[in-house]
Amino acid sequence: MKNIAVIGAGTMGNGIAHTFAQSGFKVTLIDIREASLERGLDTISKNLDRMVAKEKISEADKTTTLEHISTTTSMESGVKNADLVVEAATENVDLKLKIFKQLDDICKPEAILASNTSSISITQIAAVTSRPQQVIGMHFMNPVPIMKLVEIIRGYSTSDDVTKSIMELSKTLGKVPTEVNDYPGFVANRILMPMINESIETLYNNVAGVEEIDTVMKLGMAHPMGPLQLADFIGLDVCLSILNVMYDGFKNPKYAPCPLLVNMVAAGKLGVKSGEGFYDYAESRKAEHVAKQFVK
């Protein structure tokens, strides 16, 4: 696999594009908005600058990485020569199904189609294509260039050859791939999201305040970031979406999202991305501080 297409230029998409390009692959970054592509490239450039400043890469490495990335707003031209397509669009099942139907029609027959979904069924996504054996999950962690884990999710029909190929490919990116089966939330979010949700319930029930809850988990459990701070970093809307997927999938009340989380998302308090969540980032510019703290 030499040619990689990444759909979505947001936080995960530009991170995935960055990672593949830095590993020597030719990458086409695709988004429906030119402005999103420009922001994505700017983010990649700034992240590479940080790596240069920390002497992890050279200026020449940065230049070469950026040269490996092209952008387009055309799905058809962006994926037609791709050996692997990684979808990193919004965590919305209808949107993902629409995208995979399109990809199945326009990608070459041998292309592998992967989703970066953090909770949606790979089997369901694969079912809308004529190549379910070539559909797989590649759940990268944020920030993608730094975090080592990739959850490799096998759908019901995903072939052994495709799974092996994606596992080996992930290793060439310097990642540690972990194979999991296709159930709501997979492993990472099936464990993480109930913890975050319970932390929100603890706040909702006035057991303790935001900083107190995070301090207990950071100092008592050696977590690098408290669960409420982490929820802000992930995006409260994303947390809500994942919990809803698990609640719908398992029909178990333990996955039901806390009313406080539901209300905060409805009010547009989404965390770092909106400037306010459990913490206020707008005035003190904590958003940048949190991101840097997490990357260290």
Q: Is 118 assigned to a binding site?
A: yes
Q: Is 174 assigned to a binding site?
A: no
Considering the domain architecture, whether residues 87 and 146 belong to the same structural domain is answered as: yes
Considering the domain architecture, whether residues 83 and 198 belong to the same structural domain is answered as: no
* Matching residue, tokens 């994926």: 79
- Active-site residues, by number, are 118, 139, 151, 189
Considering the domain architecture, whether residues 247 and 114 belong to the same structural domain is answered as: no
Count of the separate structural domains present in the chain? 2
Question: What pLDDT digit, counting tens, does each position of 94-139 carry?
Answer: 999 999 999 999 999 999 999 999 999 999 999 999 999 999 999 9
Considering the domain architecture, whether residues 75 and 144 belong to the same structural domain is answered as: yes
As a whole number of angstroms, the distance between CA 79 and CA 66 comes to 19
Is the predicted pLDDT of residue 285 greater than 80, yes or no?
A: no
Considering the domain architecture, whether residues 144 and 211 belong to the same structural domain is answered as: no
Is the predicted pLDDT of residue 218 greater than 70, yes or no?
A: yes
* CATH code for position 201: 1.10.1040.10
Considering the domain architecture, whether residues 98 and 216 belong to the same structural domain is answered as: no
pLDDT score recorded for residue 126 = 98
* CATH code for position 51: 3.40.50.720
Considering the domain architecture, whether residues 61 and 205 belong to the same structural domain is answered as: no
Q: Are 20 and 43 in contact (CB under 8 A)?
A: no
Considering the domain architecture, whether residues 110 and 24 belong to the same structural domain is answered as: yes
Q: Which of 160, 181, 202 is the last residue of a domain?
A: 181
pTM of the complete model beyond 0.75 = yes
Q: Which two tokens stand for residue 120?
A: 């949606």
Range of the domain at 253: 189-294
pLDDT score recorded for residue 220 = 98
Considering the domain architecture, whether residues 26 and 142 belong to the same structural domain is answered as: yes
Considering the domain architecture, whether residues 234 and 141 belong to the same structural domain is answered as: no
Mean pLDDT of 178-194: 96
Question: What pLDDT digit, counting tens, does each position of 9-54 carry?
Answer: 999 999 999 999 999 999 999 999 999 999 999 999 999 999 999 9
Considering the domain architecture, whether residues 164 and 213 belong to the same structural domain is answered as: no
Q: Is 142 assigned to a binding site?
A: yes
Q: Is 96 assigned to a binding site?
A: yes
As a whole number of angstroms, the distance between CA 15 and CA 144 comes to 5
DSSP annotation of 276 = B
Q: Are 237 and 91 in contact (CB under 8 A)?
A: no
Q: Which of 181, 199, 218 is the last residue of a domain?
A: 181
DSSP annotation of 97 = H
As a whole number of angstroms, the distance between CA 215 and CA 190 comes to 23
Q: Is 9 assigned to a binding site?
A: yes
